[in-house]
Structure 1
């Protein structure tokens, strides 16, 4: 019988210093020499955090620490943050990450296909669903969320430049995030409360995306 994981008690300072050093020494040799620190200060606390949120939000998937360098000019082998997602596949849902900069949480969708982007834009274009999304985004902006996601510079093909929701239509993908940095409470259980409250705020967006966009690919 396996031993239950200990409850989440915060991200130690070592999690941030691990990634600060990784940014300077992003190599396989350095990683292998410091893998114990990654497991202790990053991987295990993140698993405990996700376990504490699972009853309300569902099972999470942690992203691999290795970068896919096949099509990248940057050949550094490891990501400089640890992220995890709860939702549809690995491209739509609630997101959390820890890095040298501290804690980030939010949600949304990362475009996995042109078809997914097309569904998103069709729903933004439709009056009822489009207006509903704008109301959600306005509320999140008032809550100090930053709206992110790759966008085209002009109007996407098939949509007028003076469309009332043109700024949202320019998005190929859509995420909102809140950066907390590294406050004193990051090393305490309060960090779980902050992520939970953030995800509750993001829930209307995730539900809208789940209804109108959904996920049709799984990537890590």
Structure 2
């Protein structure tokens, strides 16, 4: 049974404040998206990898992948939203006929690949598995800067990736969302649950934050330096 990895790097990274999309910025000498691709490409548990990239940057991505010897990565052009980009990536994966798929944000290059096996073990028909982070801070719900109520943090998690599902089930959820004109999902587990799936949350074994700003890049660099010491 094949397992596929779908790496999503379709955004333009405008919040990062760089002339290059953040996925092309180097983290300790290596492009962020390359670090994320390698997590899955180098795993014996992953049979095929598809990278979704903004249409304007597909050629550059292919060139960089070739330089790193990552020849078995298929690159497809993304859509106008993350949901559309994932759907395009899933359609590209269809020809490989995978049994399971792991969907991962390219901007989370610090994920611990040793956790892939654990995540896959939770994925069964009707059940997906998602890496997430338990909330430890007090969380306010507010409107126009006015506190409305304090949420119960014991029940709150921050969504992360990878998110793993039976391939045909998550593809079907995306296609149903499209036919229902539900087009603004920023999270695949949201779609999966919307159409009847159950999701198990697993804590990450490593820092797994999304690199969004320059400060995130600096923190990630410090973390990698400590690992190498």
**Shared fold (TM-score, shorter chain, > 0.5):** no
Q: Which has a greater percent of helix?
A: 1
TM-score relative to the length of structure 2:
0.26
Higher strand share: 2
Greater Rg over alpha carbons, structure = 1
